[in-house]
Amino acid sequence: MTFVSEAAHADGISSKLGLAKKAVPVKNTRNIGKLDLKLNVALPKIDVDPETYEVRADGELLTCQPADEVSMAQRYFMF
């Protein structure tokens, strides 16, 4: 099943793109918020220090090691 906009569904996007899965229009998504997500309802207070770029969630400093490699980070990416 592929979720598409009502406009795309009305325009026959499924047949135009040759989708193998059934296309279903989504509805009433404008009012969905964080609290509607059953498995992800955390709403920590996020603070970013503009001088040090330290990030805190609910007062706790968040840190991580720098990435060794970043995908698709070449200056020019050729397809």
pLDDT surpassing 80 at residue 74: no
Q: Once rounded to an integer, what is the mean pLDDT over residues 50-69? A: 95
Of residues 20 and 71, more confidence is placed in 20
Cβ neighbors of 61 (< 8 A, separation 6 or more) are 54, 55
pLDDT band at 17 (very low <50, low <70, confident <90, very high): very high
Domains of the chain, residue spans:
2-28+39-62
Reported as a pLDDT band with limits 50, 70 and 90, residue 41 is: confident
Q: Is the pLDDT reported for residue 79 higher than 70?
A: no
Over residues 48-67, the mean pLDDT reads 96
